[in-house]
Structure formats: structure tokens, C-alpha cells
Amino acid sequence: MKYVRVWVQLVHCAFSSYASNRIDAGSYFLGKLIRFGFFWLFFISLFHYTDSFAGYTKWETLLFFVTFNLVDVLGQALFRGIYLFRNDIRKGNFDCILVKPLNSLFYILSRLTDILDILFLAPLGVALWYVVIHLPPLPAASFFLYALFLFVGLVIVLGIHILSAALTIWSMESEGMIWFYRDATAIGRFPPEIFSKPIQFVFTFCLPIIVMVAFPVKMMLGALPLFWAMMGCIIALVFLIGALVSWRVSVRRYSSASS
Amino acid sequence: MRPYISAFRMSLSEQVTYRFGFFFARLRGLFVLVTLFFVWSAVSMKTGFFAGYSREELMTYVFGAHILRSLVFGSQSRRIASEIHDGTFSLFLVRPVNHFLFYYARELSERLLLGFFAVLEVGIIVVFFDSTFLFPSHLSVFFFVFLSVFLSHMLYYCMSYGMSMLAFWSREAMGPRFLFEWILEFLSGAFFPVSIVATNVALVFLFFALPFIYLVFMPLTIYLERVPGNQLFLSFVWQGMWIAIVAGLLRALWRRGLRAYTGEGI
């Protein structure tokens, strides 16, 4: 309960900050909508010239795109605090976080909630509904499995953010790591079959973006074998444990040099 | 000239100081390039053609866009907004340097460095994926491409500098800039040839009536020799006209902005 109360308070603070910078907030939100709209337009335009993309129909391809946005936006909304962490290390403020009666990792990741991304979930929900009604009828279990694998995807997103925090302690320049992840996730906008096998391997086992985005979609479409579904869960778990171990090692190495 | 040469050199050394960050930034760009490479490979795989472009033309467009993004789209003028906000901009007002040119020198060094690396990256990807990069059939095309790229580089710098000047009136200049950058990336054709997306009258108007297509799409269309001779001249006229319009606006913004500037934060 304590963590819920802290999180709600942090969301309040974030909301006040966005409400006091209305031009910035409005522009960012509009920018996100425009980015989404242009990519949507791009996919629609592709299907003016072809009727399948790597074997997927227009609406199946759009399902990959909307799911990518969903996972990305949820990660941004919940773990936005990571972008402030580099400054904490540089200025020595991490010491103050370590002495708080809270899990430091929880505070680092959730201290900033992106209200705009939470708001952006509404148009995304509409887009998802619009795509799904254009797909052939799906059994109710498909939606449950989709939601389940979205959760698995979020576990991986959490792992990547923890790994990024751990790297930030090792090297203050590693803010690039989180931006690297942001750009690497771009591959999730498209069906994984368009990429070569080695690239698919890297993004399934090393930086599991394909598990994050493509697995929920394939579960919904009934196109993911049971073996790979279980493998996806194992990959997410191993990735999260690996990230947590890296974090612990990094915190032990933290020398508080800047404070 | 000396202050500008110094600004050029300082910016260059600043770029290579943080090597880890620089490496990650280039790797990020490479991801976008590889993703687009596979997207266009997938759509042109069946017939070797897509939307009026041959597979080789599409690949050349993707590689060319990667190089142009590095040569044209800059980030140095973003600093201007924060300098106006924290008051350090006042230092420029008492220095015997032209602010516009000073930042241009910084921008140019960044662009040339990143452009050099972009060419290397494209070379690596072409070899690694055994792809094709077309070369024009006439040497004169290189001259027209160079001219068009130079004009697009100037046009972007003027637009970007103008966006930063919003900071004279509002502390909230980063949001509008984020919006501007996404509109620009799409409408310029940095991700795909805009002619593929402009499938109806409204979209044709959206893409072709605005200056953004002159940043990436037009130089690459000239490179691919898809612009007829008479329209080539016209495209340079339009590019020049847009630069003149944006530069005129900049001048007006600068004058009014200086009147609004309070030096807050010094």
C-alpha cells in the first residue's frame, strides 16, 4: 500500500508539472498524435500498392504497429523517471535516494509519470478497437492471451529500464542506452518476418523486442506455437532477473564520487 | 572569420569528446537505417518494383536519406532556446560575433562529422547486406545534387534557428520543437519517398505545398534522375524562395525577440 500511495503522490506532482506547462504539454501530445497518424498513413499507403506485407494483411500489419505503440507508451508512462537518473548520478543526488525508506529502483523508475502517454492510451485504445473489428472474428481467449503477452512485454520493458539504470551507474554517458532501446524498438513497428534470421535471433534473445511486440500480436492471431509462447515467458523472466542482478552489482560499485 | 573557425573547431572536439555517447547515437541511427532497408526489401521482393520505384532506386533512396539526415538535420540550434532561458544568451549580445553565423559554424562542423560517419555506415551496410547503391549516369547530376543539398541544409538551419527563437516569448519552446521535428521528418521524406504516401489530392497538397520536401525528398529525387530538366530549375527556384521567406521571418523574429528579451537568469 505504501508504494501505491507514493506512486499516486508522484503522479500528482507530474500532473501539476504538465498542467503548469500547457504549451509544451499540448505540443508534445499533438506531436505524438501526428507521429502516430503519419505512420498509420504510411502503412495504409503501402497497401495501395500491395495486398500483403511479409505475408500479413493490412489490418494484421496495423495490429503490429498499434501493439508496438501500446507497449512503448505504457513503458514511457510508467518508467519515465529513468531519464532523470543520469543527473542524479552526476550531481550525487543518488545518495539522497538511497537513504529514502523506499526501494531505490522503484523511486528511480516511477518518480516521473508521463501523463501525456497515459492520455495517449485513449486514442491508442480506439485505434486497437478499430483494427480488431477489421480482423476476422477471434475467440475471446485470443484477447486474454494478447493481454497476457502484453504483460510479458512490459516485464521486458521494465528489465530494459533497470539495465539502463545499472549502466548509468557504470558510465554516466550511458543515457544513450535508453535512447538506443527507444530506436531499437522501432523494429517492433513491423512484422518480424521482414528481417533476416540473425536479426530476428538478436531481437528475440538478446534485446527481446520481438517478444515484447510480435508475440502478443501472434498470440491474438493464433500464429504462435506453444513452444515459442513458453519460450517468450522464459526469456522475459531471465531478462528481468539478469537486469536485477546487474542493478545490484552496480549499486555495490556506486562510489558516490560526485556528492 | 577567426571566431567562426574557432566555433567550428570547438564544436568538432566537443562531438568526439563523449565517445560512448557518440557511438550509441550512431548505432541508433544505424538501427533506423537497417529497419528501413528491410521494410523496402520486403515490399519490393516479389516483383523488384514498388510504387513506381525499382528495388535499387528504393535502396538508394533509403541510403541517401540516411546520409542527408546527417548532413541536413542538426541539433546545435536547440541550445539557443536554453541559452535564452538561462540568460547566457546575453554574452552573445556583447561579443563581436554574429550569433546566426556563430551557431552556423557549430552546426556545420557537427553536420560534416556526422555526414562523414553516415557515408561510412552506408558503405558498411551496402557491403554487409550485399545491396546496391546507384550512381547517376551523368557527372553533372552531382553538381545539381550538391547545390540542392546545400540549399536544403541552409533551409533547415534557418527553420531550426527560427524555432529556437520562440524561447524569447515563452519558456515552453521544447514542446513546439518536438512537434516541428516530427512534422519535418515525415513531410521531408526522411523515412520514405513522399510520392508513395501522397495518394490523394489533399496529401499531395500537404506534402508539395510546404517547404519540407526540399530537405530530403527533392535532393534524392534529383540524385535518382527522376526530375526532368525544366522542373530541375524550378525546384531550385522554390528552394531559394523558401530560404528567402524563412530568412525574412527570422530577421523579423530576431528584432522583435531582442525587444522581448529580458536577460532573466543571469
Confidence of residue A160 (pLDDT cuts 50, 70, 90): very high
Using CB atoms, pick whichever of B27, B46, B174 lies closest to residue A24: B174
> Domain residues for A107?
2-253
Q: Is residue A258 part of a domain?
A: no
Q: Is residue A259 part of a domain?
A: no
Contacts with A214 from chain B: Cβ below 8 Å = none
Q: What is the pLDDT of residue A257?
A: 65
Of the candidates B234, B206, B238, B104, which has an alpha carbon nearest to the alpha carbon of residue B158? B104
Q: What is the pLDDT of residue A175?
A: 60
pLDDT in tens, B59-95: 999 999 999 999 999 877 778 888 888 888 888 888 8
Of the candidates A121, A118, A144, which has an alpha carbon nearest to the alpha carbon of residue A14? A118
Q: What is the pLDDT of residue A124?
A: 96
| Cα-based distances in Å from B204 to B155, B201, B210 | 21, 5, 10
Max Cα–Cα distance, chain A, nearest Å: 60
Q: Is residue A193 part of a domain?
A: yes
Q: Give the count of domains, chain A.
A: 1
Question: Is the confidence at residue B18, as pLDDT, over 80?
Answer: no
Q: What is the pLDDT of residue A2?
A: 85
Q: Annotate B73-101 with b (16+ C-beta within 10 A) or e (fewer).
A: bbebbeebbebbbeeebbeeeeeeeeebe
Question: Is the confidence at residue A113, as pLDDT, over 90?
Answer: no
Contact B28 A34 (CB under 8 A): no
Using CB atoms, pick whichever of B25, B42, B50 lies closest to residue A194: B42
Contacts with A27 from chain B: Cβ below 8 Å = 172, 175-179
Confidence of residue A176 (pLDDT cuts 50, 70, 90): low
> Is the CB of residue A13 less than 8 Å from the CB of residue A109?
no
Q: What is the pLDDT of residue B169?
A: 87
Q: Is residue A39 part of a domain?
A: yes
pLDDT in tens, B183-227: 898 899 998 888 888 777 777 777 778 899 999 999 999 999 998
Contact A30 B25 (CB under 8 A): no
Confidence of residue A253 (pLDDT cuts 50, 70, 90): confident
Q: Is residue A32 part of a domain?
A: yes
> B82 or A119, which is more confident?
A119
As a whole number of angstroms, the distance between CA A222 and CA A145 comes to: 9
Using CB atoms, pick whichever of A42, A174, A187 lies closest to residue B192: A42
Sign of CA dihedral B220, B223, B224, B227: positive
Mean pLDDT value across residues B236-264: 92
Q: Is residue A97 part of a domain?
A: yes
DSSP category for residue B179: H
Contacts with B31 from chain A: Cβ below 8 Å = 180, 183-184, 186-187
Q: Is residue A29 part of a domain?
A: yes
Mean pLDDT value across residues A192-218: 94
Contact A30 B31 (CB under 8 A): no
Using CB atoms, pick whichever of B172, B176, B196 lies closest to residue A45: B196
Question: Is the confidence at residue B266, as pLDDT, over 70?
Answer: no
Q: What is the pLDDT of residue A173?
A: 60
Q: Is residue A218 part of a domain?
A: yes
Cell (9 digits) for B37: 532497408
Percentage of chain A lying above the pLDDT 90 cut: 58
As a whole number of angstroms, the distance between CA B241 and CA B148 comes to: 13
Q: What is the pLDDT of residue A84?
A: 85
